[in-house]
Amino acid sequence: MTTTTSKITIEFDDKVVRQFMLASIIWGIVGMLAGVFIASQLNFHQLNVASWLTFGRLRPLHTNAVIFAFVGNMMFAGIYYSTQRLCKARMASDLLSKIHFWGWQLIIVSAAITLPLGLTRGQEYAELIWPINIAVALIWVVFAVNFFWTLAKRNEPSLYVALWFYISTIITIALLYIVNHLSIPTSLTHSYSVFAGVQNALVQWWYGHNAVAFFLTTPILGIMYYFLPKAVERPVYSYRLSIVHFWSLVFIYIWAGPHHLLNTALPKWLQMLGMFFSLMLWAPSWGGMLNGLLTLRGAWDKLRTDPVVKFFIAAVTFYGMSTFEGPLLSIRAVNSLSHYSDWTIGHVHSGAMGWNGFMAAGMFYWLTPRLYGTKLHSQSWANFHFWLGLIGILVYVGSMWVSGIMQGLMLNATTPDGTALVYPNFIDTLTSIRAMMGFRIIGGSLYLVGMILMALNIWITIRKGKAVNETREVAVIERHQRDTMGLKETFLNDPIACMFAGLILVLAWLFLPPGADIAALICAGIFAVLAVKRFQKSHHRWSNWYESLLNNWMPFTVLTFVAVALGGLIQIIPTVMVNRAQNVEDRIQQVYTPLELAGRDIYVSEGCYNCHSQMIRTMLPDVLRYGDYSRLGESIYDHPFQWGSKRTGPDLAREGGKYPHSWHYDHMKDPRLISVGSNMPPYPHLFDEKYDQKTLWSKIGVLTKLGVPYPAMTETEVKTKAVEQGIQIAKELEAQGRPGALPDTKIVALISYLQKLGKYDVPQVEDKTKGTPLAIPFPLKPGIPDGYRTSAVTK
């Protein structure tokens, strides 16, 4: 008996692809222009010409524009184009595609308005205020519904590898974004994160690191697996390698976030966990790189003549370089040199400019002739763009490597006896890297010129052509040919059983006490051998199960979610218990007064965390330079945490009481009066603008709900306390020769906050032998305690 297969002609929705592509080009130029401008501000402080044009406010605009506007729009263009072809179906809903496009552009415009105005959450890559975050979540749901709906109505039974990466991106970004942005509003434009201190730090970098993984990496890998074979007209080098690449990357990447917090107050077991999984990332990352490069086998001649192939191969090479450097920087010894320095900046930009930027350019040059039914205006312009961009990246990244290593060596240098710093003045390091910061401007400018040249080339091509939507005749497949796998078949099988058993043994090795952990490790090794033997014995059954899985998008999505969710839960849940006052036996942060809280919000609003850290690491040079190392309990009430990731200026964790009010007053008015050679911008608007007294009571109410032990206060009492402290600071400023400071101005509030930094209480514990409370003896003055290289909380 024969069956007839009906065929239909479909017209792909390429309009939304064109829209996202053009938006990506426009926002990419805007974001990179902002990047060149803020790089120039670091060398020429005079460019900080207004409160909304300072480095601290524009740096988040630059990062969000490049990540969410440039790469985000490029990612959506690639996904919409390739998904329709891989599913042999038009996107399920034109309306959802339109809502997605226009909603995403509205979000970007909202970010571009609010961030320069100082409306921010104060967390890297997560600065957007809560109404915009809700919009992001809603638009992401629109995108997800449209994507999975298209998978459900596809006319191709099997899911191609690119779709695997798209699925992991959609579900993981949803999980990361929602958890990290959980907050309670205090007004229409302000909220406090539900997480604080070390827990906030861990959740933030669980999100921050994996935003890089699942927004800037996995969807672009999916685009690589689709567009690179198309460009070189060769199949992917190894299907098996792509399977290993995908599942190992998805499972391992989610665990690596703690490597952003090495040598800090983060519990040591989490630091080691992050480092361990970061090092493991070398294998899958390079597997993917080799799979991409070897796809070019037999077509290397195209590398000389085709600019699209040039961009793709250079991008994959930069992916390999970045994913080699990332694990390298996660080694604690290397991280002690690189962290808080420009080396990290160079690492990030090699990925963003080399991997994401070049993949975008190659994809745009490949797409434009097909979307507009004509030839690219100028191949020579595209080639010139490639060399401009490549030279720009190398100049930029090379200067940041030199600058970062120089910074790290100078700031960590101690005398032979280890009792003093070789370069005690922080400004010495800043002076030493001025030339490298100049080369950064040159490199970024070259890359920006290349982007503008691409925009002109594509614009002229569009003018010559006409928008066309591809039509294709496809065979309609029946429901029984796909999506028939049930839960039992999905989970009750050898591959899943072996994975979970192996994971339990590895976790036992990580968490069990000494002795038992070695036994667990031995058991894990024995189990691995047995699992390999079982696979060799019944590998056909394993292969058949996976091929069946690829015909079922729902089970595949569920397994992907389980793989990424496990790592986050295992990292975050223990810190919920650790980050409580009753569990901290060292130091407890003093609660901010109403005025100090207002000052802290000003500090966050001005973006001071972009240049200053508040975390003295458990390292001798940090202790000698800034004072006693930071403890877990000293940021326990900080919503959000302010540990920072870059030191363009010194650490401020022990700034309180270090200088008189007048020092901070003069420093904010003109930093060069205090520190000759400083590149910090002045903040004259703080001396005239009033801090927000109206929302102080609601802010304290929210923080109280989140566990900050404020006493019960009425709204009048809150305002009275703030005013009284402001009057006291104004009087002290007048006594120090700075008359005229008004008690309700932002500068007074900011001074009160800066003077509070580093203040803590020593908790009381009960002497169980006598029933009397005892103060825990810890040094109250900055010093170098015995065992300063150990973490504040260890396994």
What separation in angstroms does the CA of 387 have from each of 26, 228, 358, 632? 21, 20, 11, 48
Q: Looking at residues 509-531, what average pLDDT do you find?
A: 81
Residue 241 pLDDT grade (very low, low, confident, very high; cuts 50, 70, 90): very high
CA torsion angle 48 614 61 208 (round to 10)? 160
d(C-alpha 506, C-alpha 520), whole Å: 7
Q: What is the pLDDT of residues 157-179, one digit of tens each?
A: 899 999 999 999 999 999 999 99
What separation in angstroms does the CA of 352 have from each of 31, 36, 66, 173, 176? 12, 14, 8, 18, 20
List alpha helices for 609-695, DSSP H.
620-626, 661-669, 671-674
Is residue 528 predicted with pLDDT exceeding 90? no
> Long-range CB contacts (< 8 A, 24+ apart) of 257-260?
257/202, 257/205, 257/206, 257/207, 257/208, 257/209, 257/210, 257/571, 258/202, 258/205, 258/206, 258/571, 259/209, 259/329, 259/330, 259/335, 260/205, 260/208, 260/209, 260/645
pLDDT value for 777: 40
Q: What is the pLDDT of residues 655-701, one digit of tens each?
A: 999 999 999 999 999 999 999 989 999 999 999 999 999 999 999 99
Is residue 380 predicted with pLDDT exceeding 70? yes
Q: What is the pLDDT of residues 253-272, one digit of tens each?
A: 888 888 999 999 888 888 88
Helices (H) and strands (E) in the chain, counts: 31, 8
pLDDT value for 774: 43
pLDDT value for 1: 41
pLDDT value for 522: 86
Is residue 468 predicted with pLDDT exceeding 50? yes
Residue 513 pLDDT grade (very low, low, confident, very high; cuts 50, 70, 90): confident
pLDDT value for 149: 96
Is residue 443 predicted with pLDDT exceeding 70? yes
Is residue 767 predicted with pLDDT exceeding 90? no
What element of type H or E holds 211?
helix 197-215
d(C-alpha 536, C-alpha 542), whole Å: 10
Q: Looking at residues 336-363, what average pLDDT do you find?
A: 96
Residue 201 pLDDT grade (very low, low, confident, very high; cuts 50, 70, 90): very high
Q: Which two tokens stand for residue 635?
A: 């940021």
pLDDT value for 780: 35
Q: What one-character-per-residue DSSP string does 351-367 give?
A: IIIIIIIHHHHHHHHHH
Q: Which amino acid is at 286?
A: W
Q: Are 316 and 622 in contact (CB under 8 A)?
A: no
d(C-alpha 163, C-alpha 552), whole Å: 12
Residues 6 or more apart whose CB falls under 8 angstroms from that of 532 comprise none
Q: Looking at residues 111-136, what average pLDDT do you find?
A: 96
**Residues facing residue 765 across a β-bridge:** 774
Is residue 635 predicted with pLDDT exceeding 90? yes
Residue 565 pLDDT grade (very low, low, confident, very high; cuts 50, 70, 90): confident
Helix or strand or coil: residue 471?
strand
What separation in angstroms does the CA of 262 have from each of 43, 128, 204, 333, 631? 29, 26, 14, 9, 14
pLDDT value for 578: 54
Residue 779 pLDDT grade (very low, low, confident, very high; cuts 50, 70, 90): very low
**Residues facing residue 8 across a β-bridge:** 474
pLDDT value for 279: 92
What mean pLDDT is reported for the chain?
90
pLDDT value for 393: 96
Residue 2 pLDDT grade (very low, low, confident, very high; cuts 50, 70, 90): very low
d(C-alpha 511, C-alpha 795), whole Å: 8
pLDDT value for 254: 86
Q: What is the pLDDT of residues 390-434, one digit of tens each?
A: 999 999 999 999 999 999 999 999 999 989 999 999 999 999 999
Q: What is the pLDDT of residues 12-69, one digit of tens each?
A: 999 999 999 999 999 999 999 999 999 999 999 999 999 999 999 999 999 999 999 9
pLDDT value for 376: 96
Range in 21-30, 518-527, 554-563 with the lowest mean pLDDT? 518-527
The 8-class DSSP code of residue 591 comes to P
Residue 129 pLDDT grade (very low, low, confident, very high; cuts 50, 70, 90): very high
What separation in angstroms does the CA of 465 have from each of 139, 377, 452? 32, 10, 20
pLDDT value for 87: 95
Greater confidence (567 vs 322) lies with 322
d(C-alpha 539, C-alpha 494), whole Å: 10
Give the residue among 637, 709, 761, 656 at the shortest CA–CA distance from 199: 637
Q: Looking at residues 187-202, what average pLDDT do you find?
A: 93
Please report, in angstroms and rounded to a whole number, the separation of the first and last CA atoms in the chain.
Answer: 67
Q: Looking at residues 778-784, what average pLDDT do you find?
A: 37
Helix or strand or coil: residue 472?
strand
Q: Looking at residues 523-529, what average pLDDT do you find?
A: 83
d(C-alpha 313, C-alpha 780), whole Å: 56
Residue 778 pLDDT grade (very low, low, confident, very high; cuts 50, 70, 90): very low
Q: Looking at residues 752-777, what average pLDDT do you find?
A: 69
pLDDT value for 773: 46
Phi and psi dihedrals of 354, rounded to 5? -80, -50
- Name the region of 14 (left: φ>0; alpha: ψ -120 to 50; beta: rest): alpha
Is residue 99 predicted with pLDDT exceeding 70? yes
Q: Looking at residues 69-90, what average pLDDT do you find?
A: 97
